[in-house]
Every structure is written in structure tokens, then in C-alpha cells.
Amino acid sequence: MASPPPVAAALTLLADHICLFKDCQQPSVDASGKCLTHKHRLQCITPGCRNQAYARQLCVRHGGKRLCRHPSCTGNARSHGFCCKHGGKSSKKMCEEAGCSNVAHARQRCVRHGGGRKCSIDDCTSYSRYSGYCQRHFSLSNLSWKHNQENETRHSPSAATNDASPSSRRQDMDMFRPMAAKGPCAWKDAEMAFPAVGTPTPTLPPIHMRLYL
């Protein structure tokens, strides 16, 4: 029985091993011992640690994140060098209602406790959704805008030109066409309308007027 090719044998050997990162059960895909997901991730440089490096080639547990500056605190720093417990405040303002953990939107209150913005239409109690209007009034404003646009387009001079009959438009454009494009009959019509230079002008018979006194 022939032995498998070296490449196939290497792939079979790698398939028997799992990824070296902690809690990862995917098979390794190369000689580094990493799976396809962690192929380009770095491992913590602490000896015996199988965690993924977070910063400075260290995982969170071994100093990848800075610790709180408060004495004997092992929490991670969030803001100004302190954890949330010792002064690291979030940039988001919370609702001032007692026992509420929602984010404040307006007037330091969440939407549930009156912090939502109302519709710009007077006497409307709905909350604004789009451009200061609620869903209903925003739809109505769009319909009104479209109606005004249609009226302006319909009464504009360009619209009146477009509404002209096809025959009138053809006559107007025919004035600017060259004679050759109009056909041979156009030359005869032009000669009759505008005689050539030197052609004698036909004389009209004399008109005799008789005055009656």
C-alpha cells in the first residue's frame, strides 16, 4: 500500500490538533498551532498563558489593560485612570429618575420618563421620529412637498413648451433646418418667395382713379 503524499500527511497531522488559544476547539491549520479564526492573532507573552493578547503583547489578565489607580483595586481603568467604581464615569448621561438605568435623551430623562422630543406640530403628543416630526406628520409633510413640486413643474415655462403639440414643435424646428435637408421642393418655394437679384419685377397695371365731386 502506497503511503500518502507529504502534504496530505501534514494536513492529517494538523487536523488531530486543536487551536492553542484557550477555550477554542477548532482544529489548527498551520504549524503555528492556530485555527483559521486565530491565524493572525497574537498570543500573550506570559509563559504558560493561552489567552489572546489585548495590548502590548499581553492579555487583559496579565496587564494588557491598565488597572485602576485606586489603591488595592484590580479593576480595569475606564476613564481618567479609574474604574467605574472609583470615579471612571461613562460619557453617556443616565436618566435622573430614581431606579432607572436607561440613557437620558432630553431634559436628563429617558423616553419612558418624559425625555423624548415631541412632534413639532402643535397639540401633537407623539414623539418625533424624523426631522422633528412624528411618523404621521412626516408623511403628510412629504405628500405636501411632492404636491407643491408637481404644481411648480406643471406651471413652469418649460412644462408649457413640453405640452405643445408635436406638429407645432416640428414647424418651429423646421425654420432652422438647412434647405438641403428639406428636399428639392424647398428650393423652388424659396425662389418663388425670394426672387434672385436682377430678375425684373413684374409691373402691375395702372390703377385709374376717378374723383367724384
* Domain ranges for the chain: 92-151
pLDDT per residue of the chain (213 residues) written in tens, 0 to 9: 455 554 454 445 455 688 999 999 899 888 888 999 898 999 999 999 999 998 889 998 888 888 888 888 888 887 778 887 777 555 677 788 888 878 787 778 887 887 778 888 888 878 787 778 887 888 777 766 666 677 677 666 655 555 555 565 555 555 555 544 445 555 455 555 555 555 565 565 555 555 554
Distance from C-alpha of 77 to C-alpha of 33, rounded to nearest angstrom? 33
How far CA 106 is from CA of 12, 26, 136, 146, 182, in Å, comes to 61, 48, 22, 32, 73
Q: Output the CA torsion sign for 53, 54, 59, 64.
A: positive
